[in-house]
Amino acid sequence: MNTICIMCPMGCGLTIERVGDEIKVSGNTCKRGEVYGQAEFTHPTRTVTTLVRLEGGGVASCKTALPVPKERISEVVAAIGKLTLSDDAKIGDRLTVGDGEFVFEIVITGTPSSC
Amino acid sequence: MDRFDVTVIGGGIIGAAVLDRLSRYDLKALLLEKCDDVASFTTRANSGIVHAGYDCEPGTLKAKYNVLGNPLVWKEAEELDVPHLKCGSLVVAGEDGIDGLEALAKKAEANGVEVRILDREQTLKIEPNVADRIAYSLYAPSAGVVSPYQMAIGYADRAVTNGAKIILEAPVTAICKRDGDYILSTPKGEFATKIVINCAGANGAFINDLVGAEHYETTYRRGDYFVLDSTERKNISTVIFPLPTAAGKGILVAPTADGNVIYGPTAIDTTDSEDVASTLDSLDSLRASVPLTYKRPAFNKCIRVYSGLRTLIGHDFVIGRSQKTENFVMAIGICSPGLTSAPAIADDVLALALDGLNANKKKEFVTVMPRHKRLKELSDDELEQLVAEDNRWGRIVCRCEKVTEAEVVAAIRSPLPATTVDAVKRRCRAGMGRCQGGFCGTRVMQILSRELGVPLTEVKKGLGANIARYRVKEVE
Amino acid sequence: MLRYDVVVIGGGPAGMAAAIAACDSGAKTLILERDVRLGGILNQCIHQGFGLHYFKEEMTGPEYAERFRKEVKKRDITVMTEAMALSLGADRTVTALSPDTGLVKVQAGAIVLAMGCRERTAGAIALPGTRPAGIYTAGMAQKLCNIDGYLVGKEVVILGSGDIGLIMARRMTTEGAKVKLVLELMPYSSGLKRNIVQCLDDYGIPIKYSHTITRVVGNPRVEGLYYAPVGADRKPVLSEEQYVSCDALLLSVGLIPENDLLNGLDVKMSAVTNGATVDENRMTSLEGVFSCGNVLHVHDLVDNVSEEAEIAGRAAARYSKGELPAGDSVSVSACDGVRYALPQRVNLGDGKVRLYFRVDNVYKDARLVVESGGNRLVGKKFQVLAPGEMGSVEIDRSAICGDVTVRLER
């Protein structure tokens, strides 16, 4: 796969491939790029930030407590989209979302009343 | 079906001024406007110049109404509390332009307009920032600037205050005659009226055709403008015109009555009655033209581009009763100097409408409208007093133009209420400043939502288009 | 007339950090905040990426703001919300207006300007075509989305690749909109690399560099737009115009420090940053008036804003107590690929001073050189320097022997 390294403004174009048991990164100009490239190749993850509905009609912002696999971002957003929280939700509140095999935790990051 | 004595079609500056005149008489007067506010098309996008009247061909209606209208605009802007500035105007020319200026001075004399030809030194005393090549100018002290849309809104507010009715979002789609009345069909219903006054601006010829009055070929001329930040206002003290050409009065540099500066308009002929899209070429030609008359162009201080459409029928205004259908009065083909001419045109149109109606002047009507309170114009004591009575005077909504929540609410509750973000902007200037509503837009939307009792998704920018379109988590 | 040692105008990240630093330096401190709460634009920046440098922890904007709000609350700092500073006097008086207090006049020992910046608009770039509903600055769309809970459209084009635009590309996508295209006039992005990758590439959103809009179509709502590549002169090549339909156009075409309060005051401004020129204490040319954060120059990381604001807050407190020595200074200027360096003045003395700078293009393997009176103070090699990412180097003040220049050597 090809991607751009985000470890510094250099933005090296990385080519990453599996060679036997090894994940080979080329195009990088430093060690950090190699580590980044290997991670992006084997288990790319992202912290998802989005909004969650409040009972009163407003919205609160939230994030996944941990980075989730990149390919599951849309599932994460859809699951959060089904929630409606009480208006007294506070920054730092945590709740578990999802059911069955895919469960994740979200953290409230901002509310209309936080001040 | 509601029946009216007189119905004005079109809520631009002409229609609003005509309705204002009608509202002083004992008759049922109606104005039908197709947009969601008055002053929504030609009137909101022109130069805002109160012309002296030196350049109209002597003997034309343009010359007549311009000269009659000029002092009326100054008087009525005071009555209506509309921002205006009688700053005079200069037509500037290089060494080779003296003949052109003298020709203008001759026309001025024929039209009865006071002008003076100035040399460079005299010109610089009036406007220090004319371009270096400028050798002479024609100075007209009676010219100046006024807020064109606020003038129309002012007329509309006064007309409503005096008992006239305005129905918005009511484009006239068909007209027929029944029992001596005209029946006007609109999406807001049918209205019967004895007399129709066609002030439909860009659609004037269309309305004429609907009723079977005189047919006119209409052409249009689009003009693009730059609006400059108010910080540029200190660099200009008068209106600067180049020598006029066949295409019009040329690209001017002028202060606005509200404290900005404008450069424009270009003159692009078009057949599209809705063409208000600026073009790269046209904007580039503005960039090239302004330095020819003005020494301190500051295109990097541009806060807004706008385009206006001028409607042309032949070379003059069309004002009069139709010869083909009775009780039909026309005031169409009103291009420049239409804004200046409006009050004088309205006076004559009133006379044409009253002819055949048995209407007396009302014993009482409002002439001087209540002053708009504006934070920028209040003394500290006045402001303290207002905040004590109503704390919305202490809440700044538009930080660029320093407009308070109280002023936004007043705009929404004015005689002709503002119901859109753009209508609020035209009345109290929230969103007119350098951030162009980036900060206050959402606040104004919330205030409109609250005052009108509609959800935020129903709040319109203007012309029916909303801004907050979808609730999050409800997007398909 | 109220009296405070330090009056901080603006309660965003810069204002809060400045107030905390001023208070901790013993100053009686007031924050004037025009919004209903502290936090400024951070409140609407619900994405991650804040605090990595400052807190050594990655957090979202509202969380970063909350940390500072808590620190403000812990201290004896007066906060007036919905309080808009209307005017500023050269004698360090501030007039403000709020619904709770009406007009307030405050005599300040020192003032810290922390009003942030505003976005360049469609008008400012003279966007050709119609001016319909559907065209907004990215920040306004962000506020409507993240604070109010509304989307401005479902088929989106973004002009400009500033960070807010990139962030909004991802936000709109996450919330169900289709972001069709990002157009960037320059051959490179003005945003952070990580935002290009994680906001565009992750979602397959195309970005066209060296492209711009030639015409907006639609009235009263945007229906689409024409765009074209630009030549070396950055003028569009009209023969290669293409059309894309959309119901929203977001602009991310630059930020401008919001220094309206300084209009009419004799404060020396930088034509490059659009902020005041300052010394290492972030004091402007007007004695006792300090500036920090995005009102001084536009930052790409809030962490740098916080650091800069602390410098200004501390110095303002010292000034108010008469403890900030005045002395000789040298100027700091930028040239040869460096667009600006800040501070623009450095007072002579001891200790280290950090110079911040921004380059005017993408440079690889360039050396950043700081010279003073013919002596080289710093020669630091950078693998890459980009306009979108502010750099910094430290200099030793005792080594200064004349005006300072910051330049690139390639």
Find the angle CA(B129)-CA(B78)-CA(B410) to the nearest 5 degrees. 105
Intervals of CATH 3.50.50.60 along chain C = 1-118+255-326, 121-253
Identify whether residues A68 and A101 lie together within a single domain.
Answer: yes
Residues A64 and A86 reside in one and the same domain:
yes
Residues A64 and A99 in one domain: yes
Gap between the Cα atoms of B30 and B193, Å rounded:
9
Across C95-128, b (16+ Cβ under 10 Å) vs e yields ebbbbeebbbebebbbbbbbbbbbbbbbbbbbbb
Closest by CA to B469, choosing from C224, C168, C145, is C145
Q: What pLDDT score was predicted for residue C139?
A: 97
What average pLDDT does chain C have? 96
Determine the topology of domain C1-118+255-326 in CATH.
FAD/NAD(P)-binding domain (3.50.50)
**pLDDT per residue as tens digits for the range B230-258:** 999 999 999 999 998 877 889 999 999 99
B436 touches chain C (CB under 8 A): yes
Cα–Cα distance for residue pair C292/C334, rounded to 1 Å:
20
Give me the mean pLDDT over the C219-226 stretch. 97
CATH 3.30.1440.10 fits C121-253, yes or no: no
Total residues belonging to chain C: 410
pLDDT of residue B475: 84
ipTM for the assembly: 0.96
For residues C120 and C122, what is the distance between their CA atoms, to the nearest angstrom?
Answer: 7
User: Are A36 and A59 contained in the same domain?
Assistant: no
Interface residue B472 vs chain A (CB under 8 A): yes
Domain co-membership, A29 together with A57: no
Residue B277, both tokens:
């899209």
Lowest mean pLDDT, pick from B156-165, C105-114, C200-209, C385-394? C385-394
Q: For chain C, where do the domains classified as CATH 2.60.40 start and end?
A: 328-410
| Contact list, C128 vs chain B (CB under 8 Å) | 277-280, 283, 305
A62–chain B nearest CA distance, Å:
14
Q: Do C175 and B472 touch (CB under 8 A)?
A: yes
Give the CATH number of the domain where residue A80 resides. 3.10.530
Return the number of other C-beta atoms located less than 10 Å from residue B359's C-beta: 17
Task: Encode C215-253: b = buried (16+ Cβ within 10 Å), e = exposed.
Answer: bbbbbbbbbbbbbbbbeeeeebeeeeeeeeebbbbbbbb
Nearest-neighbour CA in chain A from C358: distance (Å)? 13
- pLDDT of amino acid B392: 98
User: What would the pLDDT profile of C339-365 be if each residue is shown by its tens digit?
Assistant: 999 999 999 999 999 999 999 999 999
Q: Out of A10-14, B199-203, B264-268, which region has the weakest mean confidence (pLDDT)?
A: A10-14
Number of domains in chain A: 2
Q: From the centroid of its chain, how far is CA C179? A: 25
Among residues B465, B400, B407, the alpha carbon closest in space to that of B432 is found at B400
- pLDDT tens for C23-79 read 999 999 999 999 999 999 999 999 999 998 899 999 999 999 999 999 999 999 999
Tell me if A73 sits within 8 A of A49, measured CB to CB: no
| Residue C273 to chain A, least CA–CA distance (Å) | 21
pLDDT at C327: 85
Give the three-state DSSP class for A30.
coil
pLDDT band for A99, please (50, 70, 90 cuts): confident
Whether A111 contacts A60, CB under 8 Å: yes
Average pLDDT over residues C377-389: 90
Q: Give the pLDDT confidence score for residue B249 in this predicted structure.
A: 85
User: Which tens digits make up the pLDDT trace of B330-345?
Assistant: 999 999 999 999 999 9
Closest alpha carbon within chain A to B475: A81
Q: Give partners of B (≥3 CB pairs < 8 A).
A: A, C
Within 10 A of B42 (CB to CB), how many other CB atoms are there? Answer: 25
CA angle C45, C51, C57 (to 5 degrees): 120
Q: Does C34 touch chain A (CB under 8 A)?
A: no
pLDDT tens-digit series, residues B184-217: 999 999 999 999 999 999 999 999 999 999 999 9
Question: Do A55 and A99 belong together in one domain?
Answer: yes
Q: pLDDT band for A115, please (50, 70, 90 cuts).
A: low
Min mean pLDDT across A36-40, B387-391, C187-191 is at C187-191
Could you read off the pLDDT of B399-442 as tens digits, one per residue? 999 999 999 999 999 999 999 999 999 999 999 999 999 999 99
| Whether domain C328-410 has CATH 2.60.40 | yes
Question: What pLDDT is stored for residue C389 in this prediction?
Answer: 86
What's the pLDDT band for C192 if we cut at 50, 70, 90?
A: confident
Joined tokens for residue C324? 């900030």
B449: phi then psi, degrees, rounded to nearest 5:
-60, -45
Query: Contacts of residue C60 in chain A, CB cutoff 8 Å?
Result: 49, 61, 63, 109-110
How many other CB atoms are found less than 10 A from the CB of residue B192? 17
Which residues of B carry out catalysis?
Answer: 51
A53 and A84 both lie in a single domain: yes
Per the domain annotation, does A14 fall within a domain?
Answer: yes
Instruction: Judge: A51–C198 Cβ closer than 8 Å, yes or no.
Output: no
**Residue C336 in contact with partner chain A when CB distance is under 8 A:** no
Specify whether the CB–CB gap between C43 and C65 falls below 8 A: yes
**pLDDT, position B476:** 73
CA distance C369 to B224: 47
Helix or strand (DSSP H, E) at B298: none
A31 and A14 in a common domain:
yes
User: Strands, E, within B108-188: which ranges?
Assistant: 116-119, 136-140, 144-146, 165-167, 174-178, 181-186
Q: Residue B359: its pLDDT value, please? A: 94
Distance of CA C272 to the CA centre of its chain: 13
The verdict on A53 and A76 lying in the same domain is yes
Tell me, rounded to whole angstroms, the distance of Cα C184 from its chain centroid.
20
Average pLDDT, chain A: 92
Q: What number of other Cβ atoms are within 10 A of residue A96's Cβ? A: 10
Give the other-Cβ count within 10 Å of B284's Cβ. Answer: 14
- Residue C123 and residue B396: Cβ atoms within 8 Å? no
Residue A55 lies in a domain: yes
Range with the poorest average pLDDT among A39-48, B70-79, C206-215: A39-48
From first CA to last CA, the distance across chain B in angstroms is: 42
Separation between Cα atoms, residue C162 and residue C252, nearest integer Å: 5
Would A115 be classed as within a structural domain? no
CA separation for the pair B340, B11 (Å, rounded): 16
Give the residue numbers spanning the domain of A18. Answer: 2-42
Name all domains of chain B by residue range, CATH numbers in brackets. Answer: 1-84+144-216+313-370 (3.50.50.60), 89-141+219-309 (3.30.9.10), 375-466 (1.10.10.1100)
- Chain C contact present for B380, CB below 8 A: yes
Q: How far is CA B235 from the centre of its chain?
A: 24
B46-79 pLDDT, tens digit each: 999 999 999 999 999 999 999 999 999 999 999 9
Q: Is B234 on the interface with C (CB under 8 A)?
A: no
Give the residue-averaged pLDDT of A42-61.
95
Report chain B's mean pLDDT, rounded to a whole number: 97
CA separation for the pair B427, B447 (Å, rounded):
15
Cα dist. B39→A30, B45, B46 in Å? 63, 9, 11
User: B297-311: buried (b, 16+ CB within 10 Å) or exposed (e) per residue?
Assistant: bbeebbbbbbbbbbb
Asked if residue A99 and residue A68 are part of one domain, the reply reads yes
Residue type, A97: V
CB-CB under 8 Å, C39 with A112: no
Q: What single-letter amino acid sits at B399?
A: R
| Domain shared by A54 and A98, yes or no | yes
